[in-house]
Amino acid sequence: MFVAVLLGVICFSILIGVSPYFQPVPATDSSIFLYTGDQILKGQIPYRDVWDHKGPLIYYINALGLLSGSRWGVWMLEFVFVFAAAWILYRLLRSVFGSWPALFASVFFLVQLKPVLDRGNLVEEYGLLLQVACLWFFWRAINSEKWQTYFATGVVAALAFLLRPNIIGIPLAIGSFFVWRMIKEKNVRASLKSFGAMVFGGIIVMLITAIYFFGKGALAQLWESVFVFNFAYSSQGDQSYFTVLMEGLRNLSILAPVANAAWVLLVAWLRGNANNKDPFFVFMTVLALAPLFEFTLTVLSGRSFPHYFLSWLPVLVALCAFFVYFVASNLRSSLSKVELSRIFAPALLVGFAVSFVLPLVPTLYLDLNSFVADEARFSLNLSGHRYETVLSYLYTNTDSDQKLLMFGNAVAVNWLSARTSPSRFVYQSPLLNSEYATEERVQLVIDELVGDPPIIIDTNPNGEFLPAIETRLDRVPIQLRPLYHFITEHYVYAGTFQPLNWDLYLFQGQGVFLDNANAQ
């Protein structure tokens, strides 16, 4: 009970910083998930009605949270997922290494969330629970050799894939071990049965998902969004694999050195203790393989957003638990150092807490104190926020059924104003990808604007995500020129929102102009 309370307090203290109270305007990815989740509750289907390139599970998690009536319900699901991941991780590592290494690793796991959590409600954040659950079921499976636990391992692995296809390093490590063992062994029946149960569990989940989206007329759109686009997206990454890897190690600068040292020790230990029948050896082999897959799947994106490295945490902290276990075990082997072996893990935990946890306390205290003292803590207050002028205009001058196209990727405004996009491309930056943006896809956006002309707010004054609407046509990427031509032919500049410097465009000049409309 003490450990559960401790992990719960640490988890709450870290996640409160990404709650709606401190982050009233959701980040880009989060706003897309919230918007899509809200559309699901209104009967829409991801990919068919709202375009995005993440796995489908994230949108339904957000829809579940929004059943509460506010974004706080989504935040509560974040807390449940992360706390459950930490608790299951502790239970797993306690079973494998003992209590103190497990406690050390679980606390480490939560503390290292902070530098890579970005602003919360992330695919990789929810994926932590599924990654840990995959390890948990696998550990139980190799100890019990029951097909049901292998089946459950496959189910959880498939769910992780449905969150984001490149957070399946752990399942790939498990599968690689089984393939290697079947090659090495003459009698492969037992391994094939276990591996088959795991694969079957994954296939069942994927089949159910495919049938669901096929029935909704969205399977083809799912394929082209999650697979076709992501391959094109990865091929145009602007960073080298090595740069992404170094950024990941830098973001996890406290955890990485210990985990890397532990990996070297683990490989050396495996070479001297080979026993394919021993559950501990099997688990350690998977633990040695998993970082290689996790690192590879992350760097393939060619991008180093901090939250991409969340998926490294379960494996790296498990390696840290092994490090503590390994050192303590070797100390214990010397009778003259029995007492030292008993206090090594607690001493390491205390030293870690003093060095890395205590510096976080003042900020966490201020956050908690501010949250508790504010009687309106659960109310959304955007007074003075840079989005205030935009939202005020939309609330005052448009009906709730007025369509709104945020030209760029500021989907947060659609979500906050409850104004629906006329296009499934609720953000349009994917159309910059020349390998993905076919003439048909761009024409589809134009047809959607013709069918239900929206208000357009151009959020790209500096061309950060898309060229500004006023950009000369010959300077617009060739695949987007028909869209820009349509907008400039049918829309009228109606002023600029300050301080954002976002331009308002009205279809054929119909609607309320801003006071500064004549300034341009």
Per-residue pLDDT of the chain (520 residues; tens, 9 = 90+): 889 998 998 899 899 889 998 889 999 999 999 999 999 999 999 999 999 999 999 999 999 999 999 999 999 999 999 999 999 999 999 999 998 889 989 998 998 998 899 889 999 999 999 999 999 999 999 999 899 999 999 999 999 999 999 999 999 999 999 998 888 876 688 788 899 999 999 999 999 999 999 999 999 999 999 999 998 888 777 788 899 999 999 999 888 888 988 999 899 999 888 777 889 999 999 999 999 999 999 999 888 899 999 999 999 999 999 988 888 777 655 544 445 445 555 666 666 655 566 666 666 667 777 776 666 666 677 777 889 999 999 999 999 999 999 999 999 999 999 999 999 999 998 998 888 988 899 999 999 999 889 999 999 887 777 899 999 999 999 999 999 999 999 999 999 999 999 999 999 999 999 988 675 5
Q: What is the tens place of the pLDDT at every residue in 405-458? A: 999 999 999 999 999 999 999 999 899 888 898 889 999 999 999 988 999 999
Sheet holding 502-507, edge to edge: 404-407, 455-458, 502-507, 491-497
Read off the DSSP letter of residue 48. Answer: T
CA dihedral 116, 119, 121, 124 (to 10 degrees): -20
Rg of the chain on CA atoms, in Å: 26
* CA dist list (Å): 105 to 151, 353, 496: 27, 12, 51
Residue 457 is predicted with a pLDDT of: 96
Q: 224-227 long-range contacts, Cβ below 8 Å, gap at least 24? A: 225/47, 225/51, 225/52, 225/53, 226/47, 226/53, 226/54, 226/55, 226/56, 226/165, 227/165
Q: What is the pLDDT of residue 335?
A: 44
Task: Give the tokens for residue 321.
Answer: 């638990």
Question: For the chain, what's the residue count?
Answer: 520
Partner residues linked to 455 by β-bridges: 404
Give the pLDDT score at 181.
86
According to DSSP, residue 493 is labeled E
Return d(Cα 86, Cα 11) in angstroms, integer. 8
- 266: its two tokens: 């683990």
Name the amino acid, one letter, at 489: E
Closest listed residue to residue 490, CA positions, set 444, 454, 442: 454
Question: Using an 8 Å Cβ cutoff, are 272 and 331 in contact?
Answer: no
How high is the pLDDT of residue 211?
98
Count Cα neighbours of 301 within 13 Å in the Cβ-side half-sphere: 19
Q: Using a CB cutoff of 8 Å and minimum separation of 24, what contacts does 255-260 make? A: 255/108, 255/112, 255/313, 255/316, 255/317, 255/320, 256/316, 258/319, 258/320, 258/323, 259/291, 259/315, 259/316, 259/317, 259/319, 259/320, 259/323
If phi > 0 it is left, if psi is from -120 to 50 it is alpha, else beta; for residue 275 that is beta
Question: In whole angstroms, what separates CA 58 from the centre of its chain?
Answer: 8
Whole-number pLDDT of residue 381:
74
